[in-house]
């Protein structure tokens, strides 16, 4: 594993591994024990330009490559990941504090998305559309956009980089990838290494490891990329969208959430407890779809709360390399500090801590809070960590109002003994995704993934990748002579 952090601690531009030329280094730390994993000299604006220029040079020939040949690269990449699954698991545990459970979840989905990319290479189809003009043939071609810029987050970096990179490449584009500073290997150079070994020609995927303190908006302002795919916070996403719009670029934004898991009066309580605990605490709650809020019908609230709290108290907190650990460290100390402050703010506002977790370095124990005032800002914002807010409601109408009372609209779930009641409830929620009798955290390769309101713009996965990473081109052919008025 250690060789990954030495060999891959570089920029990857035009098929070459090279150091950045910046004046300072990004230090990659293990969030659990503070071990220094890698030191990477950052990329400057010049390297960002080099990466985009390389992508532009390589893209035309790649777009003209037989899609069956493009497909073979991703078939090989899938085999490489399968062969190195244990090593990649160790890297995920070390770099982002993911547990064995989380690493397995991330790798399973990464392989599923690669399988979809294999099929996606053959998916673009053209059309012939009728014309009111005699002898005219209207052809509509679906063509690559050209170069795509991808910015990936720290929570599922390997998966969420591949999720945009692989489809964009499969559809004939070139890509420049900027991983999060906290996960430069999992989210950046590891992806490049796997695709390099899988036969991807030089220049088609470039990785720049850098920081906006060094490059500002150069990554998204650059004239070459036509699409920016960003996954991260809504605050940064709003800025990305603004810069893209000013530069006539398309942005695909997968942003934060404030999902609710709702327990109606006819729910299977034990099952709802299991779903809610997983939905809130998986990967330390550092998941955009996590259930920030657990809303329970007052008639079953006492039973649910007792069982929920009891299960939360059983969650093992500690070393993510221990297979028994459920909750490892959050990504860094600033995140840990924010979470501790959030719990204290809730208590100061009148909430009761049914479970009051302590914080030691980056290990944040789970907390369960109830009785937060209905107008508290904490109930409307994203909390990216193992802190659950429990609230009660009286009847479905109030539940719908509470779920929608947030600027976010990503995911959610409802538990009920009546499936159609659940579906009817889901239809009333302003989210891009909603689940009946399940958790809030789901992603599948062929279903449209994305949010409403402040949770994003556009969709990823399946057919929606065509909308994100290709464009339509109309070519008309006039058979015979056309008539002109003068």
Query: Choosing from 186, 214, 288, 396, which is the catalytic residue?
Result: 288
Dihedral sign from CA coordinates of 29, 30, 33, 39: negative
Strand partners, 80: none
Query: Choosing from 47, 95, 254, 382, which is the catalytic residue?
Result: 254
Query: Rounded distance, CA 70 to CA 425, Å?
Result: 43
Establish whether 244 is a catalytic residue: no
Establish whether 186 is a catalytic residue: no
Instruction: Considering only CA atoms, give the Rg of the chain.
Output: 24
Query: Rounded distance, CA 370 to CA 374, Å?
Result: 11
Which two structure tokens, joined as six digits, stand for 384?
């990216």
Query: Rounded distance, CA 117 to CA 71, Å?
Result: 8
Q: Which residues are catalytic?
A: 254, 288
């Amino acid at each position: 594993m250690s060789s990954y952090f030495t060999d891959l601690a570089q920029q990857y531009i035009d098929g070459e591994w090279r150091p950045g030329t910046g004046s300072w280094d990004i230090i990659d730390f293990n969030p659990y024990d503070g071990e220094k994993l890698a030191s990477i000299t950052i990329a400057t604006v010049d390297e960002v330009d080099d990466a985009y220029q390389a992508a532009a040079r390589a893209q035309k020939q790649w777009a003209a490559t037989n899609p069956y040949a493009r497909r073979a690269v991703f078939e090989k990449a899938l085999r490489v990941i399968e062969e190195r699954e244990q090593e990649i698991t160790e890297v995920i545990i070390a770099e982002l504090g993911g547990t064995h459970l989380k690493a397995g979840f991330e790798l399973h989905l990464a392989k599923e998305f690669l399988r979809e990319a294999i099929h996606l290479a053959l998916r673009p189809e053209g059309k012939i559309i009728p014309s009111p003009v005699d002898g005219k043939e209207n052809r509509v071609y679906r063509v690559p956009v050209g170069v795509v810029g991808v910015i990936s987050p720290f929570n599922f970096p390997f998966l969420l980089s591949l999720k945009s990179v692989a489809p964009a490449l499969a559809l004939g584009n070139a890509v420049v990838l900027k991983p999060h500073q906290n996960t430069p290997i999992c989210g950046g150079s590891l992806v490049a290494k796997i695709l390099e070994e899988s036969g991807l020609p030089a220049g088609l995927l470039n990785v720049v490891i850098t920081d906006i303190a060094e490059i500002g908006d150069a990554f998204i302002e650059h004239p070459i990329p036509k699409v920016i795919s960003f996954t991260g916070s809504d605050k940064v996403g709003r800025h990305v969208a603004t810069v893209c719009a000013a530069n006539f670029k398309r942005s695909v934004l997968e942003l934060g959430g404030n999902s609710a898991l709702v327990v109606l009066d006819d729910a299977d309580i034990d099952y709802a407890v299991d779903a809610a605990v997983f939905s809130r605490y998986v990967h330390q709650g550092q998941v955009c779809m996590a259930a920030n809020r657990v809303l329970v019908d007052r008639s079953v609230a006492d039973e649910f709360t007792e069982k929920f709290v009891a299960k939360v108290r059983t969650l093992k907190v500690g070393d993510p390399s221990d297979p028994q650990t459920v909750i490892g460290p959050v990504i860094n100390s600033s995140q840990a500090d924010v979470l501790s402050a959030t719990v204290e703010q809730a208590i100061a506002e009148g909430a009761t801590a049914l479970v009051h977790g302590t914080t030691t370095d980056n290990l944040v124990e789970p907390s369960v809070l109830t009785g937060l005032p209905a107008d508290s800002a904490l109930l409307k914002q994203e909390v990216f960590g193992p802190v659950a807010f429990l609230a009660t409601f009286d009847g479905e109408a109030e539940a719908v109002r509470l779920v929608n009372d947030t600027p976010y609209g990503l995911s959610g779930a409802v538990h009920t003994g009546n499936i159609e009641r659940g579906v009817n409830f889901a239809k009333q929620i302003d989210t891009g995704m909603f689940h009946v009798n399940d958790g809030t955290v789901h992603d599948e390769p062929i279903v449209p993934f994305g949010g409403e309101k402040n949770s994003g713009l556009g969709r990823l996965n399946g057919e929606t990748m065509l909308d994100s990473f290709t464009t339509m081109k109309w070519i008309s052919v006039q058979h015979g002579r056309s008539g002109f008025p003068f």
